[in-house]
Amino acid sequence: MKIGNITFPKYPVFLAPMEDVTDISFRMMCKKFGADMVYTEFISSDALIRNIEKTQQKLTICEEERPVTVQIYGRDPESMVEAAKICEEANPDILDINFGCPVKKVAGKGAGSGMLRTPELMLEITEQVVKAVNIPVTVKTRLGWDNDSKIIVDLAEQLQDCGIQALTIHGRTRAQMYTGEADWSLIGAVKNNPRMHIPIIGNGDVDSPLVCKQRFDETGVDAVMIGRACFGAPWIFREVKHYLETGEMLPEEPFQWYLDVLKQQVNRSVEMIDERRGIIHIRRHLANTPLFKGIPDFKPTRIAMLRANTVAELFEIMDGIGNQFQLH
C-alpha cells in the first residue's frame, strides 16, 4: 500500500488521532512498539490561524516518528485552506481532514462528523485543501450521521474525486458516538467497490491481534487503525504486528515489563511538558490500562494513582502494585 510516496508493509497498523492522547510523547511510544504510522491530536483550523499557542504546539513533530500525519478540522473552507498551509510548513508526511469526530463541541457546530449533514460543504473543503497543499491529503470520517443516513459508499467515491489519497472510515455513525459495535460491513463495501482505487483504512473496536487480522481478512482493507485499545497499552502494536507477521500470539511478558512501559510513558509525558501537567496528561492511560484490570480491591489504589502529584509519589504506588504481583 502507498499513500503519496510512502510505501507501507503488508498489513499496516496505524495509531488513530485522539484528542489529549496522541501527543508527541505517546506517538513516540506507539512508534517504538511498531505502529506503521501515527497521527497528531486533531487541530482546530480556527485556533491555528489565530495563533493559539496550545494549538501551535500540536504541530510539533520529530524525525523519529515518521511517517506522521497532522490532522485538522473545521467547517469554513477559507480557514481550512489557510490552516492546511500552516500545517504543511510543519513538514508532516500527510495532512488528514477530520470529518469524523462525534463530540458535541465539534460535531454540534458542524465540524468533524457534523460535516456528514452537509456533504456538499465537506466535498468543497476537501477539494480546496487538496489544491492548496503539495503533500498528500487524506480524510477520516464515519458511516453517516445516523442509522437512516449511512452515506459512506457514495461519499467515498465523491471524496476520491476530490483528490484525496486515502480514506479512513470509523465503522459507526455520529449518532452512535462510541456505543454499540462498529459495523465493518460498510467499510468492506467501500473497499470492494470497483470504482474505488485509493487505500481504505478501517477503524473501530480493534482491540486484539485476532480482531485486527479478522478485519483485514473479512474486508480487504489496506490498513487498520487502532484507537482506544492503546490507552495505557502502547504494546498492543507490538502484539498485533507480531501476530500479523507470524500467525502466532506473542508470549506475555512479566507484569513488571508492562509496568516499566507505563513508567516510561509517565517519564516521556513529564519530559515533554512538566511534572504536574505531565502527570495529569497521563492519568487517562493509567485509569484505562488493561494491566490493572481484574486486580481485586484495586479501586483505592487507582484513586491514589490518579491523585498523585509527583513522579516519585506515583512510582511508589506503581512499585507497590508490582511488588504485590511478585509476591504471588
Confirm if 259 and 236 have CB atoms less than 8 A apart. Answer: no
Rounded distance between C-alpha atoms, residue 156 and residue 153, angstroms: 5
Residue 101 a catalytic site member? yes
Q: Write the secondary structure of the chain as one string of H (helix), E (strand) and C (coil).
A: CEECCEECCCCCEEECCCCCCCCHHHHHHHHHCCCCEEEEEEEEHHHHHCCCHHHHHCCCCCHHHCCEEEEEECCCHHHHHHHHHHHHHCCCCEEEEEECCCCHHHHCCCCHHHHHHCHHHHHHHHHHHHHHCCCCEEEEEECCCCCCCCCHHHHHHHHHHCCCCCEEEECCCCCCCCCCCCCCHHHHHHHCCCCCCCCEEEECCCCCHHHHHHHHHHHCCCEEEECHHHCCCCCHHHHHHHHHHHCCCCCCCCHHHHHHHHHHHHHHHHHHCCHHHHHHHHHHHHHHCHHHCCCCCCHHHHHHHHHCCCHHHHHHHHHHHHHHHHHC
**Active-site residue among 101, 162, 212, 230?**
101
Q: Is the peptide bond before 17 cis (omega within 30 degrees of 0)?
A: no
Rounded distance between C-alpha atoms, residue 239 and residue 237, angstroms: 5
| Active site members | 101
